[in-house]
Amino acid sequence: MSETSAEEAVQVSAFRHRHAHLMTAGALACLERASKALDEALSDLVARDQQLFRLRLARWFQNLYDGLLPVYGQREDFDDFMQRLVLLMAHYYVMRPEELKVLDVERDLEPDWFQHESMLGYVFYVEQFSGRLDKVHDHLDYLEEMGVSYVHLMKVMQSREGENDGGYAVTDYRKVDAALGSNEDLEALCTKFRARGMSVCIDLVLNHCAQEHPWAKAAQAGDERYQQYFYMFEDRVLPDAFERTLPEVFPEFAPGNFTLDKQSGKWVWTTFNHFQWDLNWSNPEVFLEIVDVMFELANLGVEVFRLDAVAFMWKRMGTDSQNQEEVFDLMQALRTCSRIASPAVAHKAEAIVAPDDLIRYFGVGRHHGKVSNFAYHNSLMVQFWSSLASRDTKLMTQALSEFPRTPSSIAWGTYIRCHDDIGWAIADDDADAVGLNGAAHRQFLSSFYSGEFQGSFARGGVFQFNRQNGDRRINGTLASLSGLEQAVEWGNDQLIDLAIERILLGHALICGFGGIPLIYMGDELGLLNDYSYSDNPEHAADSRWLHRPVMDWDKVANRHDTESIEGRLYTGFSRIVATRRKTAQLNARYDTDILDVGHPHLFTIANRHPQGTLACVYNFSDSTQHLNVQPLYESGIVELYDKLTGREISVSNDVIELAPYARLWLI
């Protein structure tokens, strides 16, 4: 050993020794046992990379151990499982391309990279955006012009033919869907995006796989090993017992939570559809399989995993089998695996759950800040649509004020809509607090956005009407739900103006809330509902394709014509994004407070920052409103300068005026 490498080895040993004092005795002993085989596993790496892996392993092992011990620690083979996991991480770190190892170091040095105010996400189905992965290259200039730094590519991995839940019935976690290209195409595209400062996100479906997946096919054929990968029952006794407390996700076309598999003769847990088999995460082999997949995709250049349907990962009799404590243990362990072997990778939790449960996906209590890097702010989305329909922000102010503080190391994914339906996750307690009946308000919102409510401007569709509890979710693009489709159909310029202002209000809200604003493809241009989905046999049974239109590249080409609707929208959107990039208060690490200014039509937030507070004020009504500025003064906003328009706001008798659907970023 050279003198330099000997010195480096001493430094690594000292680092591990310091972290040994921070570990529990059980974790330290487990680490020592699991590390014995590392010399051979890492032998193909240069000394510096070996040291980096060992340093990260020592730094994060306690988090890994704490996540896995409650789930698998009672098993006799726990030590063997942990050693296999460490060797698996080492294997993929050895295989990791040099360019990605450099990115790992960058992210080690800048762990808050995803919290920056310059972050902007763009989300699309590849088939709707460009047809194939290799055709996405043709539109990188457009994405860069928008300021996109995060790209969520949807329906990338191989899914079953025919019905596939929008691509979420995966038949091969390791293989790109042949209709979109190859793994090599995905790797090349990730490289192109990375060169332009854009991080690629893809879906990793954790709760289930397709019944055509090799694991499921082996289980159907009677392979006992793979039957343990799923929840399979000889009769209906246990399924019926579980069913008593389980809700239905798709009550119209997939009632119940269990399906009889005729080939095996067993009942299979199928939360979503009969062709999506729930994985049994109580089996550590499932954990190892998913980690293996995760690292393989990370080594292709994927930087963010959207962890799909995570709320459903753990089953417990007598509960709704959602948001169980083991879910957060498993997510902490998965995130820690990435921290050790692919630190450039971030995790996003897809948990569309009630507010009290939602915050747990960042980690509370012993999981504080350890579960995921970011999660969808479902409540912000729901409250936007609620206030837009009612022209009243009291419920929005109440509900969002109740959110607890988030860890400083995370970020919300803020959005107005996504590829999925909109469910009215409004808590009865919040509704009661502002004098509303929760059930009646949810019914109103469904009627309003389906266009059934008299005087509604929205054009949407009803999704999964549950007649037992009255739940009716809604489909529709941002533009159609905001009134643009109706206004264009009626040829009414005044209504078109109002619809454009509503859309820009939504963009300003999610861009001014901190976190990572996520724009669904075409919303920057005002794409309308696509009713032709019903002509496609693969889509006809799933009305969510109503709001998954094909990208209109003619509108993209027309985006700088400020006389056109798409030009007006794109110009307004671009101004919001450009302003956000220059506003330090919108970095996600700083606190966002909801201000109750005592006005029923205005929603106001304060983004705190050492350089001063940014107050964002939004008018959710179609008429001019007036705001007393005293609450703004009390928040530290003394001279009212609007960053969005670059002008001073005039104050008369301590009151400022806001036009219909106005948005102000005051500093």
Q: Which amino acid is at 192?
A: K
Q: Which amino acid is at 606?
A: A
The per-residue DSSP string of 618-664 comes to EE-SSS-EEEESHHHHHTT--S-EETTTTEEPP-BTTEEEE-TT-EE
Which H or E run contains 98? helix 98-109
Which bin fits 522, alpha (ψ -120 to 50), beta or left (φ > 0)?
Answer: left
Active-site residue, from 117, 278, 350, 430: 350
Q: Encode 505-559 in three state secondary structure.
A: HHHHHHHCCCCEEEEECCCCCCCCCCHHHHHCCCCCCCHHHHHCCCCCHHHHHCC
Taking the alpha carbons of 183, 148, 142, 166 in that order, is the dihedral positive or negative?
positive
Q: Has 203 been annotated as catalytic?
A: no
d(CA 168, CA 172): 11
Q: Which tokens belong to 590?
A: 């700083």
At how many degrees (to 10) do helices 47-72 and 25-34 cross? 130
Q: Which has the closest alpha carbon to 344: 72, 628, 105?
A: 105
Which H or E run contains 83? helix 78-95
Q: Which has the closest alpha carbon to 283: 191, 215, 342, 371?
A: 215
Q: Has 285 been annotated as catalytic?
A: no
Radius of gyration of the chain (CA): 25
Active-site residue, from 104, 177, 308, 329: 308
Which bin fits 487, alpha (ψ -120 to 50), beta or left (φ > 0)?
Answer: alpha
Q: Which residues are catalytic?
A: 308, 350
